[in-house]
Each structure stands twice: as C-alpha cells, then as structure tokens.
Structure 1
C-alpha cells in the first residue's frame, strides 16, 4: 500500500471533527449562553429604568401617570415559576429554610394581594393604568406560584389555604395591599440582605429568589406614585375623604400587625410575626435594632436607586424608621 493510500484510509477511518455530538454540544452551549444573557438583560432592565422624556414632571399630570405605568410595564421580568430550577440544599441549609415560620403567611399574603389588585383593576377606566394594574396583580399571583413551588420543592408543610374572596370595596383592598407592601417590603429588603450576608440562604437560592424581592420594590414604587397622582386628580372636596380613608387603612394595618405579633393572623391562623422584628437573629446574623434599621434603609435606597429620579419614592416607612433610629442602638 502506498503512503498516499494509507493516509487516505486513516482519514476515512477517523471520525469527522464536526460530528453530530460535537454539533449538539455546541448548540447546547450557545443556547445556554443566549438564555443566560436574556436573563441577565431582563434582570438589569427590571432594576434600571429612565423615562426618555426630558424635563420636570408635575405630580398628578398625565405625563406622571404615563411615567409610573410605563416603569412597571417596561421593567417586567418574564421569568416562569414553573421552570425555576430550585437548587439542591444541604441537610443543614434545608433545615434552616424549612424551619422559618413565614411560609404560610407569605403564600396567603400573595394570594390576597393578587385578588385585591385584580379587583381594583376592573374598576379603572384609563386603559394604560388598567393594563399596569393587571400586570401588578399578575405578578402578585406569580409570587404565590413561586412560593408554592418553593415549599413543594423543599417539602415544607403548609396549613390549608383559605379562600381569597374579592373585597367589597375594591379601592380599600388596593390601598391595604399597597401600604401593606410598603411596610413589609422595607423590612424584607433588610432581612433578605442579612440572610444573604450571613450565608443563611445558600447563594444559589438567593439568586433564584432575588427577582421576587426586586419586584416588590417595583410594586411599591408604582403604588406610591399612583397614590400621589390619584390624590392630585381628585376634586378638592373629595381629597379630605380620601385622606381619611388612607388614615383608616394605616390604622387597620397597625392593628393587623399587632394581632399578628401576638401570633394570630387576620384569618385566625397562628403565626410567628415577631419574625420581622427578630428576624435577623433567626436568619443567622444577630443585629441590634439600630443596625437592622440601618440595613433596611440602605437596602431600600439601593433597590430604588435605578429608577427615574423624577418618580416619587416610598417615604412614610423610611421616615418612621429614621425617627425610631434616633432612640435605639
């Protein structure tokens, strides 16, 4: 056999470089890169938004309405709870997560929030605002699905869920949801940061759950701008009645949290709602009350920093926290 014939035979016998397996591997790698890039872009877009229109914006104007609605709509992150790949936890981490006394009330809170927001959306005539409210309600429903998938993945037993009837007064239900999220999100920001910093939650679980936390930031930003816009658009003679209604909502929320702090939620189910106040110790990082307030304030500012500076920020809870900070160490 000639040397040329031998080389040709060896070449024919060797597997081609561009085999089907290699092509499939490259296709999978490319698909993974594209998917990861899409997730990163959606995550960045969810946290950074500026309206392209320059100049000041008058609170209560049509431009203000368009701005805060577009903020919510254009920063939507299209992740799907059903395809979340929940990370495998070590026995120690699994015990820490499953032992938290928050899962029942968290799932029920999102269930109530979703129906309240969707009910209020049905009363709104402005098409852009209605679409934004429907998205808000849809995201609240998605939060409930995320939590349900989490407890299912990690074998967390929940109490039977109550029914979630629509509120008799849609506006009342929307106000209760909005101001309640302003309170809860402020503390959740700090507690989540404490859990991440202490390693209580594994890094993979933090990364998986992070979009839900940031979505709550978007929701309260949308709500406080709606509340300011709505107040300005009311006839002068209706504004005192609306202010009285808001005051009643705050009184209701304070009373509700006093009841929860005693271990009973609004449906009569026992809960440990001292978690918000003592949560840093439960999450593996014992912080003084003052340090916890500082962390909540810093995280609140960080999560709001990426949005158009002309939009109003939640002020009531941070202001009360700064006041309380003067008297605690």
Structure 2
C-alpha cells in the first residue's frame, strides 16, 4: 500500500491501493508552487492541469497568467454558464464546438474552438499503453461543494463491482479529492477493495498522476459519465458504464436549482439525445474500442478542431496585453500574500 508519493511508487501501488495518509496527502497541495508559477487569472483555465497542458501545447510562458476563461472538464452539454458569460476576459477557449459558437453568437465572446489540451500532452508524454495491463479501475461517482451523489444501496453497488467476471479483476476504486476530504475513503475501507486517487485537481501534477495510474489498467468503469470517460477512451482504455447509477442532488448552486439533478438544466434536446446515445454505446463491457465510440469521444474532446497552436497563442498574448492592468493587479495580490505569509512565519 502506497505511503510515499512519487511517480514510481504511484505506478507500483496503483493495484495495491494507497494508505489513508497517502490519499489525504495527495488531496491537498504540498506546497504553493505545485499549483504552478503563474498567478491564476481564471480558475477554469488553470484547474485540472488545463493551465499546465495549455502552456505546454502553446509554448506559453509558465510564469504568465492566462487571461481567458474556458470549459471546466469535458461535458456533454452546451450550456453557457454564468461564470463563463460574466468572466472579465473576452477570450473563451472551448473544446465543445457548439458551445464555442453559442458563446460567440449569444454572448459576444471571442470564443475559440480548440482541441482539449490534455490530448496533445498525453500523446507526447504517455503515448502508448503497457502490454501487461490488468484489472479495472473504477471511478467512484464523486461529489463537490454543491453536488452529492446518493446510491440507493451502496452495499449493492460494491457487491456488483466484486461480481464482475474474472477478466475484469482485480477491481481498484479511484476517488476524487473532494470525497477524500469528506472522509469517504474511511467509509469504503470495510469493502476491502484497494483505494487510489489522482489527487487534488489544483495541482499541476494532476494530469501526470491521472495517466500514470490509469495506464496500468486494462479496463475502466463507473456508473456515470464524467471527464475521465473521455480521457480514458482517448488514451486507449475501454471504459464502460456499470453498476447502480446514483441520483445527484444539488444544493446551494447559483446556476442550477436545488433538488434532484435535471439534465435539462445543463443541455438542450440535441445535447441530451447525443448524451443518451453515448450512454447506450458504453452500457456493456467491451474489449476493443469501436470506431463509433472513438469518433464520438474525439468530438467531445474537440479533436476535429482546425485551430492551430500559433493562433491560440496569439490570442492569449493579445488578451494579456488587453488586460495588463488586471494582470498587474493579480501579481500584486500574489506578492501581498507571499509577504503576509513571510511575516506570519
């Protein structure tokens, strides 16, 4: 069981599971620099290693802020969210072609349709999968500050996982840092399945941890579709929907009404129809990723985008210059925090 945290031990312990100490350590930033060297001008353009992979793809300086907003994760819906519409930055980056168009036409944003930056990064740094992969990594449906998944019977869901055929064994559960901070890992220990995590999404190491861990498995599954679904299939790992699907409950969101989650709060009829088609395609375990699944996943990741890296880079530089006052303010705020921490120390 993992007790130390580094790339080598993450790989070795992926099937053995992590200790509670390691799970908790990975769920927080060990040092401020782990979030990157540039101040975060936009949470969406930095979180989940988007900032790291964008800078790598575009050869954009690691110490400069990204004066843009973007999609958060990979989603099936095309809704334009309040934080995106009301962003102080005109530049919006999206790997959802329909959403980029809506941001331009309805909200007057300089919205650019780009491929998800994880794709180029993955193909350069984790280009192939090991041949000796075994087992199934299960992405446990995660919560956040506003959303809570509720299983009709957690015991039954865990029994369903253990009942997967021998081809899919062993089973390892991957948890979100949100749920580790809520001590879910302690509740799940009684089921005696290994528990792992890619850690906090605030870390620039998140993308590397994700691929370092997942590439050791032959299959992946979850009762729900999430960003992991698209990353996994694009990397060559068959992902399927399996087990009792939980009900999501919303509380305290300014963008979605409280109560049971309603898909119509997220997307239109066209979005929902395509999403349900994706669900059907992934509804049974499979050994090989079909061309239809691959093509569908690539469309959600924006891989068909014709936008070139230099075009996006130029827009980022133009946005930085247009927002130089805001960028200066961000640096001053960060400097003030460093001084306060030094004085407190």
TM value normalised by structure 2: 0.25
More helix, by proportion: 1
For the pair shown, the structure with the greater C-alpha radius of gyration is 1
